[in-house]
Amino acid sequence: MYTAAMSTSERLIEATRELLWERGYVGTSPKAIQQAAGAGQGSMYHHFAGKPDLALAAIRRTAEEMRAAAEAALATEGTAYARLEAYLLRERDVLRGCPVGRLTMDPDVVASEELRAPVDETLDWLRDRLAGVVQEGLEKGELAGPADPAELAAAIVATVQGGYVLARASGSSSAFDTAVRGLLALLAPRTA
């Protein structure tokens, strides 16, 4: 998880990211962060004002990573359908859930405008980015239509997030895979 070349602040951010994904905000204590990062209390407070400051840095990093992964799939060559397919079928740790989506279920994150902001911004960015690809696909006849691009983008995000929930509930990634395959079948252009 950590390399010798990582700075203490990087180790603290990475440890916090993992703990937030695994335990949520309340379950992520400063002591647990310090243990996971191999850092002392003095080091933590030297780099960050406290747990909320460190959590914000970790949430921002997680959000940046999610946007980069989505963009990598959506910016590939090919039709809009192929790009959406690449996004939907990209490798994910389905049974762990979405590290950003899980933050929306954390009452402490949702209650904090500052901690919630990178989550909201990322989900807004994702819906907008998907809507752009959908719009392009509808205009070129590469996706089934007629449809509202914003509504279809929201349905794509909801399918992915819901697929995570179904997979975690069943303990099997097949629930996620089934949801994605169903959505792809609905998106596919109709042949005459």
Report all structural domains of the chain as residue ranges with CATH numbers, in order of start: 8-187 (1.10.357.10)
Per-residue pLDDT at 190: 72
104 close to 98: Cβ distance less than 8 angstroms: no
Q: Who contacts 139 (Cβ-Cβ below 8 Å, separation ≥6)?
A: none
d(CA 192, CA 188): 13
Check whether the bond before 146 is cis (ω within 30° of 0): yes
Token reading at 147: 């449809």
Q: What is the mean pLDDT of residues 117-130?
A: 97
What pTM, to 2 d.p., does this model score? Answer: 0.90
Q: Who contacts 68 (Cβ-Cβ below 8 Å, separation ≥6)?
A: none
Q: What is the pLDDT of residues 66-111, one digit of tens each?
A: 999 999 999 999 999 999 999 999 999 999 999 999 999 999 999 9
